[in-house]
Structure 1
Amino acid sequence: MAKLSIIIPSYNHGEFLIDRLETIYNQTYKDWEAIIIDDKSTDDSVAIIEKFLKNNPDFNIKYFIVNENNSGSGYNSWKKGIELAETKYIWIAETDDYSDVTFLEELIPVLESNEKVSLAFSASHYVENNKITYDSSNRTKDLNVNKNEYKVIDKSVFFKRMPFDTYITNGSSVVFKKPNVTIPDTIFTNKQCSDIFLWSYLLENSSFAFLNKNLNYFRRHVGSTSTFLQKHKLESIYHENAKYLNLFKQTDKYPQFINHYIKYYIWSHKRDFLNTSSVRKIQIDKNLRLLYFLELIRFTAFKLFRK
């Protein structure tokens, strides 16, 4: 049996598939098997995958599944792939990203040599229009890891930022140990943020490692989740963040949640100022709604007087 499962959740990324499949095929670490799950793509993704596998018969494919109907979320493919995996380690290789060919060779030993580490991730390049635009160094700079080195870091450092910010650029930058127990379904039911739910679940009783080397290439493009969020209302994110606070028992962050909601959502959607649906998601007593309006008044006054 292979040591690592590569889960490849495919959906309408035909134009990027060859880059992804080739950088998997050419990994210098070879002890892997692939699980490809296509979520009823409407482009030529399935044909591209079939042709690639035919032309590369030694590509170690364990499952190639094409769903009969679209599941509604790529995270359902994550869930199915993790359930099918029988290996010690898992890498979710998103089909619109690609990687350095040494990605696995450099991250797997980090997991193997650190028993209490449940996931390891690398630094990333951001790619737009096939050009590298910047990297993830600002996101991870306070981890204080020297370039081309890795560090094992306590889970408390990760949870301190959550759910409003994360050190992890995206799923393709992470390799993790498969838990010995079934991951709860609720982890994968979020449309936008199930990745941070998964990382947090894995880290509840362990540590993480960060390798400060740009081995992952995170592609931003029309249709990607990050691009969608920049152009559409963000309220659904706050609903999921509220769910996160409740699930991981971070109730002390309710005031921080309210301040963040006002600053980054309400202030740019002022007509929604009476909309407290996100606040109600975390409501455990009647004072939270009052706190919301008090903080809204304070923030508005600050903005007005600063002018």
Structure 2
Amino acid sequence: MRGVEMARGDYVWIAEADDLADPGFLAELLPAFERDEVVMSYCQSRQIDGAGRVLSEHYLDYVSDIDRSRWTRPYVVDGHQEIAEALYLKNTIPNVSGVLFRRERLRDTLAKHSEEIASLRNAGDWVTYLRLLENGSIAFSPRSLNAHRRHQS
């Protein structure tokens, strides 16, 4: 929350410590924000291990129980539609480092729902997406422009 408040730009990327973004990440996600209603834009993520070896080029297997083709093409949809068709079932955005947020909308959402988000320590990102999308649209790119480091538990 504090980092979002301190940010000065129009957009925020919450980079987890050991995740990576490809050089084309911003160029791919930023154009979606030309539409005023878009509050978050995200892309597919590669899964990598602790040494940086690619485990999977995507998360399509993770979301295939919801829809086998939805995340194979770009889209922009109303937040309520995204929730109704995907996010109400499970967190279909498995890596926050693959998301770019409209800063002021994220800041307002975090402030308004801070207690709820904090109370759900293992699902805070999911709740944040749900609350943010109650008042905006989401854009998705099927390009894997982010690497999510998976650690063995």
Asked if Structure 1 and Structure 2 have the same fold, meaning a TM-score greater than 0.5 normalized by the shorter chain, the answer is yes
CA distance 1:103–1:187, shift in 2 (3 Å): farther
Instruction: Quote the residue 2:38 is aligned against.
Output: 117
- 1:213 is aligned, of 139, 143, 146, to 143
Instruction: Quote the residue 1:153 is aligned against.
Output: 77
Q: State the 1:187 CA deviation.
A: 4.4
Output aligned runs, 1:1-307, within 5 Å.
79-111=1-33, 113-129=34-50, 130-134=52-56, 135-138=58-61, 139=63, 141-143=68-70, 145-146=72-73, 150-160=74-84, 161-178=86-103, 179=105, 181=108, 183-184=111-112, 185-189=114-118, 190-222=120-152, 227=153
Q: State the 1:212 CA deviation.
A: 0.6
CA distance 1:153–1:191, shift in 2 (3 Å): same
State the distance in 1 between where 2:108 and 2:54 align.
Answer: 39
Q: Percent identity?
A: 28
> Which of 1 and 2 has higher RCO (CA within 8 Å, sep 6+)?
2
Greater strand proportion? 2
CA distance 1:207–1:173, shift in 2 (3 Å): same
State the distance in 1 between where 2:42 and 2:14 align.
Answer: 12
State the distance in 1 between where 2:89 and 2:42 align.
Answer: 19
Q: State the 1:209 CA deviation.
A: 0.6
State the distance in 2 between where 1:168 and 1:101 align.
Answer: 21
Instruction: Quote the residue 1:269 is aligned against.
Output: none
Q: Letter of the aligned partner of 2:60 in structure 1? A: S
- Structure 1 or 2, whichever has the larger Rg, is 1
The runs of at least 4 aligned residues of structure 1 exceeding 3 Å deviation read 161-164
Q: State the 1:103 CA deviation.
A: 0.7
Task: Kindly tell me the number of residue pairs found equivalent between the two proteins.
Answer: 141
State the distance in 2 between where 1:168 and 1:154 align.
Answer: 16
Greater helix proportion? 1
**Structure 1 unaligned blocks of 5 or more:** 1-78, 228-307
TM-score, with normalisation over the residues of structure 2? 0.81
Deviations for 1:242-276, whole angstroms, at most 9, x for unmatched residues?
A: xxxxxxxxxxxxxxxxxxxxxxxxxxxxxxxxxxx
TM-score, with normalisation over the residues of structure 1? 0.42
CA distance 1:170–1:136, shift in 2 (3 Å): same
User: Does the 8 Å contact 2:75/2:141 carry over to 1?
Assistant: yes
CA distance 1:95–1:120, shift in 2 (3 Å): same
Q: State the 1:142 CA deviation.
A: 3.9
Q: What secondary structure sits across from 2:100 in the alignment?
A: strand
Instruction: Quote the residue 1:276 is aligned against.
Output: none
Q: CA RMSD in A?
A: 2.0
User: Does the 8 Å contact 1:187/1:198 carry over to 2?
Assistant: no
Q: What secondary structure sits across from 1:94 in the alignment?
A: coil
Q: State the 1:156 CA deviation.
A: 2.8
Q: State the 1:145 CA deviation.
A: 4.3
